Amino acid sequence: MTTVRQIPLQEIKKLSLSVLGRAGYGQAHAQAISDMLYTCQIDDCQSHGLFRLLMCEQTMRAGKIDGHVQPHIVNGDAAIVRADARGGMSLLALEQALPTLIEKTRRYGIAAMAINNCFHFSALWPEVERLSSAGLAGLAMVPSHSWVAPAGGTRGSLGTNPIAFSWPRAGKDPFTFDFATSGFARGEIELYMRAGKPLPEGVAIDKDGKPTTDPQAALDGAMLTFGGYKGSALSIMIELMAGPLIDDLTSLESMEFAEGAGGAPYHGEIILAFDPQHFSAGRTAENDARAERLFADIIDQGARLPSQRRFAARARNLERAYVEIPQALYEDLTALSGA
């Protein structure tokens, strides 16, 4: 049984800032990263919460990231905002460009953000939920490293390639999903390895292309897409949308850029935003009612909407004012913080 440690909510950012500052991130980047980690941790998203501090530290140690660089935001006349992270983590660029994306979406009805030249490790749902909290629908996609074999393949060509979507709901938590197109997220495999647990069948192959449930063999081999050819096709689409479309790297190129060093992948991200007010010609109330009827019908038959468990975890953790993480992870992070 894994021993857990209770972390008061006010300690999440304090621990994050300490680890990040000691690793070499400047205040602006450390704050943007710690805000994201806090959001994920209070929702019990263990694979993208405090655990990701290990990757942030490893990325800095690999020697390619700039922990102090300021993003360059290009705001032209088109419905596109470009955020050049200039070799830093993606989150500060996102933070600085998001208000412009929201403004453009409200002006044109649809707008897009391209984040370029960034290291990326974070969950996408907090990003699209910032759009849905502004009354917009949001869609985000990123490649990663070529850790994932295409359907019928034997080696990694694709990234874990997550896709996230959020739909605003008046007075309610948004409808949100965020999932990797691989059968498992990379971070989940790493957590299974730390816990000494075997993987489920059908999510990975070893370096010889044979099925495996050994987390280390999966990390040395390749992961598999969900849904066979369907997940593989969706993953290829994300490679194109978040790579060549926005003049940035594919997962194969990101892996080559890393030159065997550890840490976060280096690539780009695309975020699309939609204004229901424009698309429905002002009939948002009627069309919100249509969406709510659909959600109600799903719940009425005993099904669960995506993110319901996450929202329940957030409410529970905010009420009790602490989160739980594995004791071993806490000890690792305390060591990195210098405490």
Maximal C-alpha separation, the chain: 57
| 138 vs 120: CA distance, rounded Å | 19
End-to-end alpha-carbon separation of the chain, Å?
Answer: 26
Q: Is 259 exposed, middle or buried (0-12, 13-18, 19+ CB in 10 A)?
A: exposed
Alpha carbon of 135 to those of 113, 127, 160, 173, 317: distances in Å? Answer: 17, 13, 29, 12, 26
Which alpha helices (DSSP H) does 265-307 contain, by range? Answer: 276-279, 284-300
| 71 vs 96: CA distance, rounded Å | 8
Per DSSP, 272 falls in state E
Number of helices followed by number of strands (H, E) in the chain:
13, 12
> Which residues are designated catalytic?
47-48, 188
| 161 vs 143: CA distance, rounded Å | 4
Q: What tokens appear for 223 in the block?
A: 């992961």
